[in-house]
Structures are given as structure tokens and as C-alpha cells.
Amino acid sequence: MKKLLLINLITVFAIAGSVFAKGSYHPEQEECGCPETECNTCPADKETCFDDSDLFRKDKCVAFGNAEFLFWRADAGALEYAFQFTEAVPAGTTYGIGSYKIADYDWDPGFRVALGWYNAKSFWQLYGQFTRMRIKGSDTEDRTVAVNEPLVGTFPHNAILGAELSSAASSLKLNHELGDVLVSRVFITNPHLRLRLFGGFTGGRIKQNWNVTYIDLNSQTERILNRWRFLGVGLRLGLDIDWFWGKDFYLTGKLSTAPLVGRHKNIGKITADTSGVAFEDIRYSKYRGAYNVDGYVGFSYQRSFQCTRFELFAGYELDSWFNVHEILRPSSITSQSLTTELPVDMSNGLFLMHGLTARVTVDF
């Protein structure tokens, strides 16, 4: 009797072990349309079974492409073009009472495109991408009607126009083109998280044109041009992530850094209607290093199918440049200073572009 009971227990445990080895079975699996061989469990409170073992199609060799819509603006320092007094200037006052008027950029569209290939067996990608932005901005300031509240320029104008300003206007234009050729190593740390460590070559151009126009009370005009350009190449290194949150939604982020070396050029000119000569025409060109930091974060909707996979992404991107933005301002323009010295105020600082980035990516 004991032997028979022992044989029966061994048989029961063997059957149970076989069932658990294949995956537990639920009668509701047949109702939700998920075969036992495709899904381990099918909870009764769900209508369909969800297999998240291959969210990223990590075993498929594919080519992929993406198109991104950028809606950015730019921010930079040292763009003061006028000073408006807001109080009557007391006799003997040598300082300003009012506020600076600062040139500003608008929001403008741009794009980024990429094309690449993913080698599933080795878990690496090779791709190239190109980014183009063109951002403009314009500002105008008119003198107040108060007699003792003048409008003053931040560039020399009294020695040229000889009268107080009636208005000051600023016009900005930025051109930015950047190309990258990158290789990334893909890490699927778990079915819900994908990390890609990438590196490669980067290069491109960033250029700013800044025009300031002064008009005095006699309707005479003075024009100031400041233009800088950086053209360089370098190395880029970064990391991006895709973190699955559920319902085909992911938290997606990217951060990269790139040191570059290239040629920086700067031009400064001042001309006026009162004379056919230029009151300033300076320029310089030199090789220098620059540094770019770019990153974005947002949410994406990603779906995998038998033959393809697509992604829709929307997020905030911040692109920063160091050691490229530089403004030259002569401190004065007089006949005496031209024969003795020519002081200059050189202002530089961080240059930023930021805004919305929306992307469509398709594997094929």
C-alpha cells in the first residue's frame, strides 16, 4: 500500500513539474485567444495576452531611418543694442537710469534626418544624421516722448551721427548645419530597457549675423554689422535610452558631448549715411576649440510588428555651444584714439538652441 502511494505521489509531481516547465495553464487562455505555447499565463482580468520578451526586435537585422521636426529658438548673451532712460537725467549724472534693450531670437522650424543599419548578431548600429536650423529674430526700440529720457546705443554713435537717437533696431539670423557619422553598441539589459552607447565623428558650421541700425533725430542712419562663424570637426560620444512603461509607451532620452576644432572668423563693421567711409571695419580669423553638449528627453510610442517597427517621439531638446559666440564692440571712435590706441570690448559666452523635437522612426 505504501509503495503504491509513493508511486502515485511521484507520478503527480512528475506531471506537475512537466506543466510548470511548459508554463502554467489557465482555462481563460482559450477565451483570450492565446495558445499555451505562446504565453505562460493569461490573467483572467485581461482580454489579451501580452508577450514583452522582444519589445525591441533585438534579433532582427534591419535598416532604419528617421525624420525629425525641430521647433527651436536660440538664446545668447552680449546682445544689448540700446539703452532707454526711464527717468530724467539729473545734472552731472554719469550713470544710466533705465533698462537695456536686448536682441532676441524667435521660434523657427528646422529638421534632422538619419539613416542607418542594425546588426542584430553583434548588437551594434552604424548610422549617419544631418541637422539644419535657421533661426531669426528682430527687435525695435523707439525713443520716449519725454525730453530728458534719451535713447542711447551700445555701439558708438554720437561721434558719427552727432544727434540723439530716435530709434534703434536689431536683426538676428542664425544658420546651423551639423552632420554625424556614428557607431553604437546596443545593450538590452532587460526586456524593458535598451541602452545604446554611441561614438563617432561630427562636423559642421554655426554662423550668426547681427545687424543693428540707429536713426537719429535728423533721420540720419548708422548701421552696425557683427558676424561670427565657426566651422569645425570633432568627436562625439553619448548614450541614449528607451525605457518601456507600458501600453507601448516609453521614456526616451539622449545625451551627447563633442569637442571640436576648427576656424573661427569674426567681422565687425560700422557705416553711416553721413559719409561714404566705414567708421569700423575689423576682422580676425583663428583656429580654436569649441565644445557642444546636446540632449533631449521625452515620451515615445513604439510598436513592433512581424516585419517592421516604428516609433513616434516628442520631447524637449537642449543644444549648447561653448567658445563660439563672440561680439566685438569698439569703446570709442575718435581721431585721437585712431592714432594712439583702439580699445575694444570683446564679449563671449554660452550659445543655446532649445525647443520641441518630434521624430518618426521606421525599421525596414
Digit-coded pLDDT (tens) for 205-215: 999 999 999 99
Closest to 136 measured CA to CA, from 179, 79, 72: 72
Whether residue 157 is predicted with pLDDT greater than 90 in this model: the reply is: no
Over residues 69-84, mean pLDDT:
94
Q: State the alpha helices, DSSP H only, in 40-157.
A: none
Average model confidence (pLDDT) across the chain:
84
Q: Looking at residue 305, what DSSP letter applies?
A: -
Percent of the chain with pLDDT over 70: 79
Confidence band of 305 (pLDDT split at 50, 70, 90): confident
Three-class SS state of 290: strand
CA distance 297 to 315: 5
Three-class SS state of 42: coil
| Domain limits, CATH 2.40.128, in the chain | 61-363
Per-residue model confidence (pLDDT) at position 87: 80
Kindly report the backbone phi and psi dihedral angles of residue 4, in degrees, each rounded to the nearest multiple of 5, phi listed first. -65, -40
Q: Which residues contact 69 (CB under 8 A, 6 or more apart)?
A: 109, 111, 356, 357, 358, 359
Confidence band of 136 (pLDDT split at 50, 70, 90): very high
Cell (9 digits) for 332: 570709442
Over residues 110-133, mean pLDDT:
95
Confidence band of 276 (pLDDT split at 50, 70, 90): low
Q: Say how many CA atoms lie within 13 Å of 337 toward its Cβ.
A: 12
Per-residue model confidence (pLDDT) at position 138: 96
Q: Strand pairing partners for 227?
A: 209, 267
pLDDT tens digits, residue range 310-362? 999 999 999 999 999 999 887 666 555 555 666 677 888 889 999 999 999 99
CA distance 242 to 303: 13
For the chain, strand residue ranges (E) read: 62-76, 80-85, 98-102, 108-119, 124-142, 151-153, 165-190, 193-216, 221-246, 249-272, 278-304, 309-330, 344-363
Per-residue model confidence (pLDDT) at position 145: 80
Cell (9 digits) for 271: 557705416
Decide: residue 210, CB within 10 A, 0-12 exposed, 13-18 middle, 19+ buried: buried
Over residues 248-272, mean pLDDT:
95
Cβ 324 vs Cβ 230: under 8 Å: yes
Cβ 269 vs Cβ 281: under 8 Å: yes
Confidence band of 307 (pLDDT split at 50, 70, 90): confident
- Residue 271 CA: distances (Å) to CA of 210, 324, 341: 14, 25, 20
CA distance 185 to 163: 65
Burial state string for 34-48 with b = 16 or more CB within 10 A and e = fewer than 16? bebeebbebeeeeee
Higher pLDDT, 120 or 68: 68
Confidence band of 33 (pLDDT split at 50, 70, 90): very low
Whether residue 42 is predicted with pLDDT greater than 80 in this model: the reply is: no
Higher pLDDT, 202 or 217: 202
Q: Strand pairing partners for 169?
A: 140, 213
CA distance 40 to 20: 9
* CATH of range 61-363; options 2.40.128, 1.10.3470, 1.10.260, 2.60.220: 2.40.128
Q: Which residues contact 233 (CB under 8 A, 6 or more apart)?
A: 201, 202, 203, 260, 261, 262
Give me the sign of the Cα torsion angle 33, 39, 44, 48: negative
- Residue 79 CA: distances (Å) to CA of 14, 222, 238, 257, 268: 80, 17, 32, 26, 14
Over residues 15-25, mean pLDDT:
38
Site of grid cell 508511486: 7
